[in-house]
Amino acid sequence: KNEVEQSPQNLTAQEGEFITINCSYSVGISALHWLQQHPGGGIVSLFMLSSGKKKHGRLIATINIQEKHSSLHITASHPRDSAVYICAVRFGNEKLTFGTGTRLTIIP
Amino acid sequence: NAGVTQTPKFRILKIGQSMTLQCTQDMNHNYMYWYRQDPGMGLKLIYYSVGAGITDKGEVPNGYNVSRSTTEDFPLRLELAAPSQTSVYFCASGRGANYGYTFGSGTRLTVV
């Protein structure tokens, strides 16, 4: 069965800390997406990657195809980074399968 | 550019009523999707479309219908609303299967 698991489910950290959110999947994929869902509910696409690493500002996404694992890192975290971060995976030609999300809270 | 526009933002329906959730995008994207998000669950695909005149079922299509008469619009129709359809609904669009998605702001629907 094609599955996506995220960890941790909840993460609370102090402002300035380095944050890591993990995503593991069960079988080979063609692409992996990281999304951010704000407290108001809106969803923003952060990254799409199929190999290697991508960086945008303080956000870094990596993927290890052999280990079927991706990480989303946030450097110098800030309270405005508080959100739910969602991993979504495309298994082959199938539609996206979504993880249940990691709720991140950054305390000033 | 407005991106993906969903209306309404909130709606309360009585059991058995019908309604249409509207979704419009102005980015000329061929691919459009409807998802529902239930508490503690990942987004589930209801229906999708790869272009005008083409629609297909996702994981959870029962109780819903869609149409895609134009590239811009992808309305989701709920017939005979049931409490199980209480959820937050998101419309999304993209250029293709291996491109990023743009999401609408969501519609919070409650069926009582």
Count CA atoms closer than 13 A to A19's CA, side-chain side.
31
Q: Which of A30, A88, A101 lies closest to B98 in CB terms?
A: A30
Q: Which of A42, A48, A86 lies closest to B100 in CB terms?
A: A48
Q: Are B100 and A86 in contact (CB < 8 Å)? A: no
DSSP string, B55-75: EEE-S--TTEEE--SSSSB--
pLDDT per position in chain A (108 positions), as tens?
678 999 999 999 999 999 999 999 988 888 999 999 998 788 999 999 999 999 999 999 999 999 999 999 999 999 999 999 999 998 877 788 999 999 999 999
Q: What is the pLDDT of residues B4-34, one digit of tens each?
A: 999 999 999 999 999 999 999 999 999 999 9
Q: Are A88 and B43 in contact (CB < 8 Å)? A: yes
